[in-house]
Chain A
Amino acid sequence: MLNSKKGGDKIISVYWFFILVLVAGGVFLMVSNFYGHPYDVREVEADILANQVSDCVYYGGKLNQNVFLVPEQKIFSELFANNFLEECGFTFGSVPEYYFEINFYEYPVPGNSLYEISKGDPNWKTDCELKDEGYEKLVTCVEKDFFAKNVDGTIYFIKVLSMVRKTEQNVKQ
């Protein structure tokens, strides 16, 4: 139905363009907000770190014998734990943005940790439990566990915890 009053047509046009400006402004704000956030790849990165750390300890169904100081007596090596980064080809830089922890437990009843290897800043461990507002600005944590069978038949339950911080590059500040 056409409005034959020309004045009314002009008023409707003004409203129409006002709506267009609103829509354009809304789209602009949404797009800017979306693309203004960096890509957060920390979960993938923490997962990769956990896998690579696990591979250095247990790979292809074989436990790395370097974890033992005396394999026959199942005495674990502190030297391997201390030099884990160099032994397994990792570099955390002068300001570590990563942390990982590997714990060996007895099987079938875990009990206390028999052997621990950890590198990086352990102060972030408590941040893994937080789910409050703004938790994404803290570290991203990934936990994995698996069973490892040694050549002598001993089975260990191994838990791996890996963390990536890098908040400046993955979270909008």
Chain B
Amino acid sequence: MRRKRGNILIENVIFIILNLAFLTILVLFLIKQGAGAALLEQSYAKQIALIIDSAPPNSVIELNMEKGKKVAEKNGVSFENIVRIDGNKVVVKLSPDSQSSYSFFRSGGLENIYTSELKYYVFVTPKREVIANA
């Protein structure tokens, strides 16, 4: 029986292309979900709050927020406005419509907070007397 090899080949190629397209869309969806603004905001807010709670007095901590910077700039939020301290809460904003906050238990918050090299946020913890010895 003669088979139309051209049709068989084209059908298989289309089939493979459609499957690859489907897999690509799935993978892109997975990557997009993991890099969403809301998830990053929550991650950064908790990370920074825990840093403030655990850092020794008078420490300088640099946090690489390059990923957050890309998301924020895509959403029209400048890098300098991503992180702010509001009382005893860290507030992280990567898009105009959302923000995430997390509280910390150390009083005094931060001595200073500033950006560096357009991708780092630098946190300086206050000088604190840990223990008064006799």
Contacts and interface: CB of A to CB of B under 8 A. Distances in A.
Interface in B28-85: 29-30, 33-34, 36, 39, 42-43, 46, 49-50, 53-54
Nearest to B134: A65
Contacts of A51: 54
Interface size class of B (residues with CB under 8 A): 20 to 34
Contacts of B115: none
B26 interface: yes
B46 A98 contact: no
Nearest to A24: B26
A91 B36 contact: no
B8 interface: yes
Contacts of B107: 85-86, 89-91
Interface in B83-106: 88, 102-103, 105-106
A172 to B, nearest CB: 12
Contacts of B54: 48, 51-52
- Which of B3, B29, B34, B133: most chain A CB closer than 10 A? B133
Contact of B50 (A35, A41, A91, A93): A41
A41 B46 contact: yes
Interface residues of A, number: 39
A171 B8 CA distance: 53
Given A2-B3, A41-B50, A52 B132 contact: no
Interface of B: 1, 3, 8, 22, 26, 29-30, 33-34, 36, 39, 42-43, 46, 49-50, 53-54, 88, 102-103, 105-108, 128, 130-134
Given A45-B49, A48-B50, A89-B106, 8 more contacts: A27-B30, A45-B53, A51-B54, A56-B131, A65-B132, A65-B133, A85-B107, A97-B103
17 contacts: A20-B22, A31-B33, A35-B39, A41-B50, A49-B105, A52-B54, A56-B130, A64-B132, A66-B132, A90-B105, A90-B107, A91-B88, A91-B106, A93-B103, A98-B105, A166-B103, A169-B102
Interface of A: 2, 4, 20, 24, 27-28, 31-32, 35, 38-39, 41, 44-45, 48-49, 51-52, 55-56, 59-60, 62, 64-66, 71, 85-86, 89-93, 97-98, 151, 166, 169
